[in-house]
Amino acid sequence: MSNKIIRKEKLAENIFSFTLDAPQIAKNSNPGQFVIIRINETGERIPLTIAEADKADGTIRIISMSIGKTTMFLSGLNIGDAIKDLLGPLGQKSRIDKFGSVVCIGGGVGIAPLLPITKALKEKGNDTVSIIGARDKDSLILEKEMSLASNEIHICTDDGSKGYKGFVSKRLSELITKKDGKDPCYKFDRAIAIGPPIMMKAVCDVTAKFNIKTIVSLNSVMIDGTGMCGTCRVEVGGQTKFACVDGPEFDGFLVNFDLLIARQNYYLKEEREAVEYFTKEHPDGKCRLH
């Protein structure tokens, strides 16, 4: 297994797609699962969702936003480069059944893990309605792919540069409830939400009012991905769970989002320092293996 990059694509500013040669992972991958990567011998380990797996070609697709030292390092790699360590597929696979009408909500890079789930739900015979959002039209990713995976799609941007002006949670609320406040417009049997924790919390606040079962995918701080380190622990239903082995998907109504958000912010200072050091060492923003 070479872990070589065979395709690279810039999806938006600081967001890149990489297709990797990883036949064993592709063969065993299911929607909702992820990989842990380590770019080189001294690199840190980070989780990235498998956005696509081609069993015939033996490839997987990962999508990353360059916001930290490791993701900035990753964005500097090119076709032919190889990732040192690639572990997966990890995590529990998504539950793909015939639910009926499913609303799939994705925000920012969260659209990447949402894609294979939405696609699988549609193939299972569900009526998939997708709501995807970003800061602006230039930050929106995978619109074409999500359109193909959905029976209906709604685009949201914070600034209104494309589609609906506002958050995905607000658009969801409007779809469920008529403007006159009477009977719901859309009767969803299930909701899937993936994106920043604050977005998933807002979605759950909406769906809870209508008792719509809501699944969220948690991308907490993670190191080994096998439940050994405990850094990815989250509180679900008052109990401690590990996002890597118990998740990454959980019942959104049971997740303690306030604790999750607080834990995500624990290492902001160290992350900023790492980015500053990386930028000084590599002023062109790229760090190459060779």
pLDDT higher than threshold 60 for residue 286: no
Mean model confidence pLDDT for the chain: 90
Number of helical H runs and strand E runs in the chain: 8, 15
Share of the chain above pLDDT 70, in %: 89
pLDDT of residue 268: 61
pTM score = 0.90
In this predicted structure, the answer to whether residue 290 has a pLDDT above a threshold of 50 is no
Does the structure show a pLDDT above 60 at 141?
yes
Domains of the chain as residue ranges with CATH: 5-92+269-281 (2.40.30.10), 101-217 (3.40.50.80)
DSSP state of 226: S
140: pLDDT strictly greater than 90: yes
Identify the band that residue 181 occupies on the pLDDT scale cut at 50, 70 and 90.
low
Dihedral, 108, 106, 115, 231 alpha carbons, nearest 10: 70
Taking only the tens place, the pLDDT of each residue in 227-268 is 888 888 899 999 999 988 999 999 999 999 999 988 776 666
Inform me whether the pLDDT recorded for 271 exceeds 70.
Answer: no
How many Å apart are CA 20 and CA 35, to the nearest integer? 12
